[in-house]
Amino acid sequence: MLTDLIVVIQILVAIVLVLLILLHAGRGGGVSDMFGGAASGIASGSSVAERNLDRWTILAATIFAFSTITMAIRWQ
């Protein structure tokens, strides 16, 4: 039962992580350009949306890493 829950968490977090990474700025402006905030992103260096996106991505990556380690330990 616990293993099934960890697998479900792993799959959901993997999907969220892919979507968050795709939202990040490539060579363009990323999320700030999408909402029309290109001028504020250039003036301040990084927009609030980009910083929050970074935080959410780090959180999702951390959860993904811990669930991966938990599955590896549990299935030995």
Indicate the average pLDDT of the chain: 83
- Across the range 41-65, mean pLDDT stands at 84
Question: In the prediction, which pLDDT does 15 show?
Answer: 97
DSSP character for 75? T
- Amino acid code (one letter) for 25: A
Q: Higher-confidence residue: 38 or 27?
A: 27
Decide if pLDDT at 41 tops 60: no
Of 12-26, 38-52, 62-76, the range with the lowest mean pLDDT is 38-52
| Residue spans per domain, the chain | 2-24+31-74
- Total-model pTM: 0.72
